[in-house]
A and B are shown apart, each in its own frame.
Chain A
């Protein structure tokens, strides 16, 4: 009985939409987007094209280039901040600051940086005599450019989590290691990183899920272009359901089911492979 409120909330906001998604994914739509006839697995077989393969590839690549640099970068930052320097607190705040930006705000800032006509990045490059880079209009550069923006957005949160992890390492362990003569690199690889592994594991799992769900920065920076180079699975779902007067909720729902399956697999694999190496205290 005490569980009832949470069960109701879960049923209403998680299970019902999930069931509805499955239902929609097996139905066609009328011109207003309301489900019409039953079409079986048609929406799923529609996905067996090279185009959808490209979407999956883009999604995988985007996840890779936004998760790994953000986690490793945050680790490097946190280890460097371990050094007893003056103003380290200021630096720690500065590195954690991106966390305070919403995705939309940060994306708009990056849109100004990358702007093809009046962008800051090209302005700086021009000042040192380098020809302009088509950040968001060259299909081979757009995805890394959006990935870079995402890394910046995620860095703050990652730094925050890892800093907390470092602070939680018992000082006597570090003290003992220092007495044994471990400093710098050896201290990091032998003591700090293994003791941070729960936090690192958490970040990898959570950032992967976040990356797979990324929407705001893609919508604001590239709208999935150029030449679909930044159309990830979530963006493709959005386009099918809402963009350009489209209301193919059936096709979009089928893709959403695929996204769910991919996330489940990713998370399961991460728990199966990575978690064994995690050292819980």
Chain B
């Protein structure tokens, strides 16, 4: 009895041992694991020498209409690859969730060959030491970089070199409810250009009913850190130090300086005066308020324009205007936000890397970008897409979209509008929202609120820089 039990235990232990070896074997998979050339860009021959079909796992964070556009793009590519490459798109949730899962996959040595990461995750991706910089592929192939909108490329460039391929890009806009303007005798064709002008107009555009209840607010936007980042950029202010983190690692955020405090104060005054509604941090809720026609002026990304136009049909007319500036003297332009595609080198074969690059190249083509542009509302990263016929037709149908394209081309290239590269940028954005919210709900004076918010992120920045430095 005793001996048979012992034998059984022994067999169990053996089984566990075998299983764990197998798992470990799978985990480190791929043929060139951690070798030195894992971060090199292989040439076209890598794909030819690989027998059979090369599979590329592609993690993305697009849902709804945008996911359908991704699936279409991937299907087109797979069909055009002649059976040599198969890209498998995998939806991983929001941008935050995608990067959280990516971090876990690095620990488990099972990264996808291709991953879509939001703009503010760029510094982290560079520091992760997992990716093949896009410029290596560009040099290898002599790829024409004129096909990439320079203002968009500048966000994803470190020391002038492109690290990832922009994929979906959007700019911020000022949205107006045309009929609300006309009802109070304001001219919707002369949109406000500065925060002060929005403030003055908001007072005129706030409407109360007989009982003193507000039925329409002059202004309303989500407490969304991205909007503040954009305002600071239009003012030519750098969000973080060391040249927006582009000269060397940024060591602190600067949204607590005068311009940031001014924005917080302006916003708080509007809300506390009853001229702006505070719908909190959820962009969905602020969007619902504008779509319901209860807000006359609103700040949001270009990527929601299509939805607004559809929702307002028969109720009111949606107009778009360039993103406002902090004051008349502001001479910058907004940052091109969105996300980009990163190719993972560590743990992936030359054929996989090459196949991922082939897809990236395909996705940035003019025809594909025109389709992407019209299917999603994101700005095309390839300027030639605007000359495609389907794109021309689309802009003719939705003239509001011209604003975003014009704004993009009028943008003077600057360090401020390249955006801040910071490893802990997602947390910094959250901290700036803490500051704005504290000022808006009146928990703290604006200056104190922004100072505290900037201070709260300091330990994270320090510890990040220590661990990568």
Query: Is B107 a contact of A34 with CB atoms below 8 Å?
Result: yes
Q: Tell me whether A136 is interfacial, beta carbon within 8 Å.
A: yes
- The minimal Cβ–Cβ distance linking B373 to chain A, given in whole angstroms, is 28
Q: Tell me whether B20 is interfacial, beta carbon within 8 Å.
A: no
CA distance A36 to B434 in the complex (A): 29
Also in contact, A227 and B434, with CB within 8 A (given A31-B423, A31-B467, A117-B285):
yes
Query: Is A32 a contact of B294 with CB atoms below 8 Å?
Result: no
Q: Tell me whether B289 is interfacial, beta carbon within 8 Å.
A: yes
The residue from B127, B441, B443, B459 contacting A137, defined by CB atoms under 8 A apart:
B441
The residue from B124, B279, B425 contacting A117, defined by CB atoms under 8 A apart:
B279
CA distance A126 to B211 in the complex (A): 10
Contact pattern, B 260-293, Cβ under 8 Å of A = 1, otherwise 0:
0000000000000000011111100110110010
Note all chain B residues with C-beta closer than 8 A to A126: 213
Q: Tell me whether A261 is interfacial, beta carbon within 8 Å.
A: no
Query: Is B280 a contact of A137 with CB atoms below 8 Å?
Result: yes
Which of A57-65, A82-90, A210-218, A239-247 makes up part of the contact surface? A239-247
With CB as the reference atom, state the residue of chain A lying closest to B280: A137
Q: Tell me whether B437 is interfacial, beta carbon within 8 Å.
A: yes
CA distance A158 to B443 in the complex (A): 37
Query: Is B103 a contact of A131 with CB atoms below 8 Å?
Result: no
With CB as the reference atom, state the residue of chain A lying closest to B287: A117
Q: Which of A28, A117, A226, A243 counts the most B-chain CB atoms under 10 A from its CB?
A: A117
Contact pattern, A 201-226, Cβ under 8 Å of B = 1, otherwise 0:
00000000000000000000011011
Note all chain A residues with C-beta closer than 8 A to B423: 31
Query: Is B285 a contact of A244 with CB atoms below 8 Å?
Result: no
Q: Tell me whether A30 is interfacial, beta carbon within 8 Å.
A: yes
The residue from A28, A226, A245 contacting B441, defined by CB atoms under 8 A apart:
A226
Contact pattern, B 417-458, Cβ under 8 Å of A = 1, otherwise 0:
000000111110110001001100101000000000000100
Also in contact, A227 and B96, with CB within 8 A (given A115-B288, A243-B430, A244-B429):
no
Query: Is A31 a contact of B128 with CB atoms below 8 Å?
Result: yes
- The minimal Cβ–Cβ distance linking A146 to chain B, given in whole angstroms, is 13
CA distance A227 to B106 in the complex (A): 34
Q: Tell me whether B99 is interfacial, beta carbon within 8 Å.
A: yes
Note all chain A residues with C-beta closer than 8 A to B438: 227
Query: Is B124 a contact of A245 with CB atoms below 8 Å?
Result: yes
- The minimal Cβ–Cβ distance linking A182 to chain B, given in whole angstroms, is 51
Contact pattern, A 107-131, Cβ under 8 Å of B = 1, otherwise 0:
0000000011110000000100101
Note all chain A residues with C-beta closer than 8 A to B288: 115, 117-118
Note all chain B residues with C-beta closer than 8 A to A51: 456
Note all chain A residues with C-beta closer than 8 A to B128: 31-32
CA distance A245 to B443 in the complex (A): 26
- The minimal Cβ–Cβ distance linking A74 to chain B, given in whole angstroms, is 31
Query: Is B124 a contact of A137 with CB atoms below 8 Å?
Result: no
Query: Is A137 a contact of B430 with CB atoms below 8 Å?
Result: no
Note all chain A residues with C-beta closer than 8 A to B459: 46
CA distance A215 to B128 in the complex (A): 31
Query: Is A225 a contact of B427 with CB atoms below 8 Å?
Result: no
Query: Is B278 a contact of A134 with CB atoms below 8 Å?
Result: yes
Judged by DSSP, the binding face of B is helix
- The minimal Cβ–Cβ distance linking A209 to chain B, given in whole angstroms, is 27
Query: Is A30 a contact of B96 with CB atoms below 8 Å?
Result: no
Q: Tell me whether B468 is interfacial, beta carbon within 8 Å.
A: yes
Note all chain A residues with C-beta closer than 8 A to B426: 244-246
CA distance A134 to B277 in the complex (A): 10
Query: Is A129 a contact of B427 with CB atoms below 8 Å?
Result: no
- The minimal Cβ–Cβ distance linking B446 to chain A, given in whole angstroms, is 13
Note all chain A residues with C-beta closer than 8 A to B434: 227-228
CA distance A222 to B282 in the complex (A): 9
- The minimal Cβ–Cβ distance linking A148 to chain B, given in whole angstroms, is 17
Give residues 66-91 of A contacting B (CB, 8 Å). none
Q: Tell me whether A33 is interfacial, beta carbon within 8 Å.
A: yes
Also in contact, A131 and B441, with CB within 8 A (given A117-B294, A137-B279):
no
Q: Tell me whether A138 is interfacial, beta carbon within 8 Å.
A: yes
Note all chain A residues with C-beta closer than 8 A to B104: 32-33
Query: Is B443 a contact of A139 with CB atoms below 8 Å?
Result: yes
The residue from A115, A132, A226, A246 contacting B437, defined by CB atoms under 8 A apart:
A226
Note all chain A residues with C-beta closer than 8 A to B289: 116-118
With CB as the reference atom, state the residue of chain B lying closest to A30: B467
Q: Tell me whether B166 is interfacial, beta carbon within 8 Å.
A: no
Query: Is B103 a contact of A33 with CB atoms below 8 Å?
Result: yes
Query: Is A28 a contact of B463 with CB atoms below 8 Å?
Result: yes
Query: Is B292 a contact of A117 with CB atoms below 8 Å?
Result: yes
Query: Is B468 a contact of A245 with CB atoms below 8 Å?
Result: no
Query: Is A138 a contact of B281 with CB atoms below 8 Å?
Result: no
Query: Is A226 a contact of B100 with CB atoms below 8 Å?
Result: no
Query: Is A245 a contact of B292 with CB atoms below 8 Å?
Result: no
Query: Is A242 a contact of B281 with CB atoms below 8 Å?
Result: no
Q: Tell me whether B387 is interfacial, beta carbon within 8 Å.
A: no
Query: Is A247 a contact of B279 with CB atoms below 8 Å?
Result: no
Query: Is A244 a contact of B107 with CB atoms below 8 Å?
Result: no
Q: Which of A36, A223, A245 counts the most B-chain CB atoms under 10 A from its CB?
A: A245
CA distance A253 to B288 in the complex (A): 37
Also in contact, A247 and B103, with CB within 8 A (given A31-B464, A226-B280, A226-B437):
yes
Q: Tell me whether B328 is interfacial, beta carbon within 8 Å.
A: no
Also in contact, A245 and B424, with CB within 8 A (given A33-B103, A117-B294):
yes
CA distance A246 to B463 in the complex (A): 12
Query: Is B96 a contact of A244 with CB atoms below 8 Å?
Result: yes
- The minimal Cβ–Cβ distance linking A139 to chain B, given in whole angstroms, is 5
Give residues 20-70 of A contacting B (CB, 8 Å). 28-34, 36, 46, 51
Q: Tell me whether B460 is interfacial, beta carbon within 8 Å.
A: yes
Beyond contacts A138-B441, A242-B96: 17 other A-B pairs, Cβ-Cβ < 8 A, are A31-B464, A32-B103, A32-B104, A32-B107, A33-B104, A33-B107, A117-B292, A118-B289, A129-B213, A137-B278, A139-B441, A228-B434, A244-B427, A245-B96, A245-B100, A245-B425, A247-B103
| Contacts A/B (CB < 8 Å), 9 sampled | A31-B128, A32-B103, A117-B286, A139-B441, A223-B281, A227-B438, A244-B427, A245-B121, A245-B426
**Ranked 8 nearest A-B pairs via Cβ:** A245-B426, A117-B289, A137-B280, A244-B426, A117-B288, A116-B279, A244-B430, A32-B103
